């Protein structure tokens, strides 16, 4: 295995091997849905909650909903204490929050969701590289579980089954069959979204960068994609280095392999969950 600068550690997994992933549903009981997500030593708690009202800038008679995200590195998540951002998110945090939120919105049909406002909070309990990618993958699991529960509770309904404007107080929504609930979930969330990091060290391409790999990478890239093979965003940066089109293609090929594994994992984690 390769040996890296500034450390005596050696890589103990193959270049195309991801870190081990563990998913625990409902880690906290108060959220609509919560996921404790571990990818190697990076640990994320993703909680999906529903607000009572839509954002203020929505029209009063809105028929579609909204999905937002927040991200936070907890003080003990890094090797030296991370200062709490008590006066609002700073530059890096705000940029990651926006990335997570727009990634989630790439996988959801807000009209099919209906007039609900959902927030997924991603708190990093331990950081060892790839926190934004792990947050997106975990947040998607929490979001789908949250939507599934709203459908089960009769709150998230197809447009034809929602309360008409002229309905009285005695109006009761039609109860959906199990197949109709599954179909509506598929309409609200037609795809899953996941994210993975890849990097170039010398001439070698590595999958799923932990801190050691990331700090040694000549080029690092975050790739966000959907389960139907579409891309949401690609963030690729040469760290005091440049890279060729062929190397970029190799990085993308490696990322696609990782995304396929993550999408399969997301499906397995929610199989039978309600």
Confidence of residue 1 (pLDDT cuts 50, 70, 90): very low
pLDDT tens string 102-122 = 999 999 999 999 999 999 999
pLDDT of residue 101: 97
Instruction: Answer whether residue 255 shows pLDDT above 80.
Output: yes
Quick check: 7 pLDDT over 60?
no
The mean predicted confidence, pLDDT, of the chain is 92
Q: Which of residues 79 and 67 earns the better pLDDT score?
A: 67
In this predicted structure, what is the pLDDT of residue 165?
Answer: 81
Whether 251 and 236 have beta carbons less than 8 Å apart is answered as: yes
pLDDT of the residue at 82: 80
pLDDT of the residue at 115: 95
If you average pLDDT over residues 246-255, what whole number do you get? Answer: 97
263: Cβ–Cβ under 8 A, 6 or more apart, which residues?
A: 192, 194, 227
Q: What is the pLDDT of residue 253?
A: 98
Confidence of residue 76 (pLDDT cuts 50, 70, 90): confident
List the helix and strand counts (H, then E) for the chain: 6, 9
The answer to whether 66 and 55 have CB atoms below 8 angstroms apart is yes
Residue spans per domain, the chain: 21-270
Return the pLDDT at 124: 96
pLDDT in tens, 118-170: 999 999 999 999 999 999 999 999 999 999 999 999 999 999 999 888 888 88
Architecture of domain 21-270: 2-Layer Sandwich (3.30)
Over residues 187-216, the mean pLDDT reads: 95
Q: Which residues make beta-bridge pairs with 118?
A: 50, 67
First-to-final CA distance of the chain: 43
Q: By the 8 A CB rule, do 117 and 55 touch?
A: yes
- In degrees rounded to 5, what are phi and psi of residue 128? -140, 45
Mean pLDDT in residue range 221-230: 98
């Amino acid at each position: 295995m390769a040996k890296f600068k500034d450390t005596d550690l050696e890589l103990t997994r193959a270049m195309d091997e991801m870190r081990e992933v563990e998913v625990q549903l409902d880690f906290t009981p108060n959220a609509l849905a919560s996921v404790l997500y571990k990818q190697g030593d990076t640990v994320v708690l993703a909680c999906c909650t529903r607000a009572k009202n839509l954002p203020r800038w929505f029209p009063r008679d809105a028929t579609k909903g909204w999905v937002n995200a927040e991200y936070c590195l907890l003080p003990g998540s890094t090797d030296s204490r991370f200062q709490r951002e008590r006066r609002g998110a700073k530059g890096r945090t705000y940029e990651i929050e926006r990335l997570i939120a727009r990634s989630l919105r790439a996988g959801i049909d807000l009209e099919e969701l209906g007039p609900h406002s959902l927030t997924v909070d991603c708190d990093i309990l331990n950081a060892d590289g790839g926190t934004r990618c792990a947050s997106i993958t975990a947040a998607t699991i929490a979001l789908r579980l949250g939507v599934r529960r709203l459908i089960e509770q009769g709150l998230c309904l197809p447009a034809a089954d929602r309360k008409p404007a002229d309905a009285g107080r005695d109006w009761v929504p039609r109860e959906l069959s199990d197949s109709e609930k599954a179909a509506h979930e598929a309409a609200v969330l037609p795809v899953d979204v996941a994210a993975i990091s890849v990097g170039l060290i010398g001439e070698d391409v590595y999958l799923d960068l932990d801190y050691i790999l990331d700090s040694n990478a000549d080029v690092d890239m975050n790739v966000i994609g959907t389960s139907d093979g579409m891309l949401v965003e690609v963030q690729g940066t040469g760290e005091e280095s440049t890279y060729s089109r062929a190397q970029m293609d190799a990085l993308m090929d490696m990322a696609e392999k990782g995304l396929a594994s993550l999408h399969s994992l997301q499906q397995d984690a929610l199989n039978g969950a309600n």
